Structure 1
Amino acid sequence: MSEGFKPTAADMRRHATAFVARVASSRLPLDTSVASLRVVDFLIDGLRKGAPGRDRPDAVLFGLGAYVGEVLVRCAGAVWVDLDADQRAYFGQQVGVRMPDGRVWNPLGKVVNRYEVGAEESLRTFYLTLPGRAGGRECAAL
């Protein structure tokens, strides 16, 4: 991503949709379901294996982060929010999601952590253990 790129909450669904469209030819099951977060984990594992000695693939990680955030929106009742100055300093991101219980989470940063740390930062596990989710929701398709 370019140094001056500053995503906004209003644009995040568009970013997630554009990412899914870019990878659609690969037939990856990115359908905004909770199960699809395993696919994201596998994709990041593949990026990690192919990345030694190369720069971090920030544009791809941003797309995956937008997608993970959109899963939280569609399955857990979250909403995209523009972070305030303190939240931006803490999370290192411009946007995050607010859960129904008011907690703010950072899916873009969580994807970067998954890439940098590995499997112990599983995105599927993150979702399944995430406090504040709205229960009993059907995930809306992207």
Structure 2
Amino acid sequence: MADVSERAPSAQEMRTRAAAFVSGATRRGRLPLDYSVASLRVVDFLVEGLRRDGVEETRVGEVLLDLGAYVGEVLVRRAGATWIDFDADQRVYFGQPAGVRMPDGRVWNPLGKVRNCFAEGSSRESLRTFYLKLHGRTRGRRSAA
């Protein structure tokens, strides 16, 4: 795996990256990316479409990062998570420079989860199912601010 810290944005930049992706994707394709839990099915379909096309991960790395930022932002807005920069040990373990911390203190890796979904297929690594089974999330809806 390449040194992702050179390619992936910091925690501070993830919200901006997700917003830019949503703006571009909804303007061109009218995709229903509204940061809802249901919209994670759209992300599953997008990742599965990339897989079906047989594209190598290195060619779609930036798109996967954008999708990971979006998934992380859904966790922030709907599950009470906070973007964090991983420490050195977490970067080695997760292979990513940033992730999210849940209200109960658990740390999750949405960027890596999207990469796993791409590698394994959404039938085995669904992002929507990931959210629904996620430990440490708040139960109520949060504002989309």
Normalising by structure 2, we get a TM-score of 0.91
Equivalent pair of 1:33/1:139 in contact (CA under 8 Å): no
Unaligned residue ranges in structure 1 (runs of 5+): none
Matched, 1:131 2:143: no
Which residue in the other structure is 1:68 paired with?
Answer: 71
Q: Closer, same or farther in 2 for the Cα pair 1:54/1:32, shift >3 Å?
A: closer
Unaligned residue ranges in structure 2 (runs of 5+): none
**What pairs with 1:112-123 in structure 2 (closer than 5 Å)?**
112-118=115-121, 119-123=123-127
**What pairs with 1:1-142 in structure 2 (closer than 5 Å)?**
4-24=6-26, 25-52=28-55, 55-118=58-121, 119-140=123-144
In 1, the alpha carbon distance for the partners of 2:69 and 2:101 equals 14
Range 86-95 or range 49-58, more displaced = 49-58
In 2, the alpha carbon distance for the partners of 1:63 and 1:53 equals 16
In 1, the alpha carbon distance for the partners of 2:38 and 2:14 equals 21
SS in 1 for 2:33: coil
What root-mean-square deviation, in Å, do the aligned CA atoms of Structure 1 and Structure 2 show?
Answer: 1.9
SS in 2 for 1:97: strand
Q: Closer, same or farther in 2 for the Cα pair 1:93/1:78, shift >3 Å?
A: same
How many residues align? The count is: 141
